[in-house]
Amino acid sequence: MQEQEMAQRMRRWRLVLGQESQLQFQAMSGAENVGLSEEEILMDQALAAIYHPKSQGGFGIHGAGGKEAPNLQISRWLGDVRSLFDKELVRIIQGDAMERCGLKQLLFEPELLENLEPDIGLASAILMLKDQIPKRSKESVRQFIKKIVEQINGLLESEVCRSVTASLNKREHSPLPSAASLDLSYTIRRNLKNYQPGLKRIVPEHFYFFDRTAKTNPYTVILDVDQSGSMGESVIYSSVLACILASIQSIRTRIVAFDTAVVDLTEKSDDPVDLLFGFSLGGGTDINKSVAYCEQFIETPSKTLFFLISDLAEGGNRSALLRRLEDLKESGVTVICLLAISDRGDPYYDAQMAGKIAAMEIPCFGCSPQKLPEILEMAFKGQEIKK
């Protein structure tokens, strides 16, 4: 058993170190079984293509190991990688291939996009280069982005809708009885414990009525999204979230993108793919200007949620930004600063600005996309929001 484990470890190290290490392993005592299986040989060749590009089977942006066109060879390589490794490793290998071998120049080849494993990092790279997409590849690029959007939508939609609807229904009830305003489904749910088996009926202890004023004065959610180059992943999650919120009729949703300029993308929020292509990743940052623009959409501060999604690397007026955020909070607006929406560990952000905003008792942290429904529910219910 120990010999088998040792042989397995040796083969793994051989895959890590590449073909150049083969002779050294063979010369080592007890390394007789270091020979790779057929599948491991294919793994070795696939890894060598990017991690040992000078060895046989390697490729680079300027050429390929064989006589076929580089994009055809890369397409076949991508297919091999997807069949040999699990999805998490495929994403890492694809990302390394883009950086190490200059494959971004070939990223828009339709046959390559069809073989790429959907990955939010690659989607961010594509969106950053969207103005360079050749005409022949536009539909393939759109389909690739659509796959990412569908994955995120599947992760968030039901929970976001549930959290928003549940919290708003609870807050929008009125103590004034009105048959036309009876919330029948909520009344039944709250009184199920009062079911009388003998009567085969629910005997309600309390009836719940919608507040008519809430219908004429709905909640407003504003997403103010930093589109500087470091925020690609957050932009994608924010776009999907905005479209989900825009589909909920009981609230009004606005989404604004900013770098040194401000762009209102609300009209695109019926299609998350169109919305994403409305962003222009890269450039500087003027957060203060964007917050000033968003202020015009605040009609009832106590019924407004304002999300600033930014790493806070402010290139504009930092003091004015802090004053503006403080004024919003004091007026009754629920202000939340998300430094990033990501599940890839601690984000980069301006720690000094984040500290000053947090000192105003404005929630300021990075969060995973899975936590967004919980944050929304707490915000709508007026609860304290913690990281």
Structure tokens of 241? Answer: 């979230």
3-state secondary structure of 218: coil
| Res 67: pLDDT | 42
Which pLDDT does position 178 carry in this prediction?
56
Cα distance between residue 346 and residue 33, in whole Å? 42
Are the beta carbons of 71 and 109 closer than 8 angstroms? yes
Mean pLDDT, the chain cut into blocks of 10 residues (387 residues total): 66 67 62 62 71 53 42 56 73 71 64 76 81 83 92 93 78 55 70 81 74 64 92 94 92 94 94 93 88 96 96 93 97 97 85 96 95 94 84
Q: What is the DSSP string of 37-73?
A: PHHHHHHHHHHHHHHSTTSTT--BTTB-SSSS-HHHH
- At 66 the pLDDT is 43
Question: Beta strands 219-226 and 209-210: pairing type?
Answer: unpaired
The pTM (predicted TM-score) of the whole model is: 0.69
The predicted structure's pLDDT at residue 187? 77
CB 223 within 8 A of CB 256: yes
Helix, strand and coil percent figures for the chain, each rounded to 5: 60, 10, 30
Q: For the chain, what is the radius of gyration of the CA atoms? A: 27
**DSSP 8-state code for residue 383:** P
C-alpha to C-alpha distances, 163 to 32, 39, 234, 337, 377, nearest whole angstrom = 60, 47, 21, 19, 5
Look up residue 369 and give its two tokens: 């996309």
Nearest CA among 106, 101, 107 for reference residue 124: 107
Distance of CA 104 to the CA centre of its chain: 21
Euclidean distance between CA atoms 152 and 118, whole angstroms: 11
Residue with tokens 């390929």, as numbered in its chain: 64
Instruction: State the DSSP H helix or E strand holding residue 6, giving kind and residue range, or none if neither.
Output: helix 2-17
User: Could you give the angle at which helices 318-331 and 287-294 cross, rounded to 10 degrees?
Assistant: 30
Residues 230-264: tens digit of each pLDDT:
888 999 999 999 999 999 888 999 999 999 999 99
